[in-house]
Amino acid sequence: MHYKSLFPEIPKVPESNVHHLLFIKDTLKISGVQVSPVEIENTLLAHPDKLVTDVCVAGVSGGRTWDERIPRAWVVLSHAGAALGEKEVVARLDAWVQERLGRYKWLRGGIGIVETVGSEDTDWESFEASAGGAV
């Protein structure tokens, strides 16, 4: 996923600085622990029923302190996921994450169903609207 699609407010920066920028934006502070959203994304994508085709995890407000974020996922349903239904997919994905990841990595911010997640061509405002403004 391209950083510009997730963080369009970031001005152009030299490529040598992108790594540092992504490291800062790609780490959540949860209960005092640094968590990589990529680990949670990979766990969701590894579900054996292949319920989603794409996923984005980010931190949303709701932690114990002003600067703490809690993880929230936005997922694009696969054909199998769409056939199963949104409620059932969310329940299965939530259980899957809770079985495989530590408690502080659970999706306490919820799981949202969207039509697409960021790519270089994604319209960020459309994604934000389909995510219910939770971004």
pTM (predicted TM-score): 0.70
Question: Token digits for 81?
Answer: 């996921």
Q: State the pLDDT confidence band at 128, using cuts at 50, 70 and 90.
A: low
Question: Token digits for 82?
Answer: 């769409």
Q: What does the pLDDT look like over 35-48, one tens digit per residue?
A: 889 999 999 999 99
| CB-based contact 123:115 (threshold 8 Å) | no
pLDDT of residue 13: 46
pLDDT of residue 20: 39
Q: State the pLDDT confidence band at 3, using cuts at 50, 70 and 90.
A: very low
User: Which among 5-19, 40-54, 111-125 has the top mean pLDDT?
Assistant: 40-54
Please check the confidence at residue 126 and state whether its pLDDT lies above 70.
Answer: no
pLDDT of residue 41: 94
Phi/psi region, residue 110 (left: phi>0; alpha: psi -120 to 50; beta: rest), is left
CATH second-level architecture of 3-128?
Answer: 2-Layer Sandwich (3.30)
The Cβ-side half-sphere exposure at 126, using a 13 Å CA radius, reads: 10
Q: What does the pLDDT look like over 13-66, one tens digit per residue?
A: 444 444 434 444 577 877 778 888 999 999 999 999 999 999 999 888 876 777
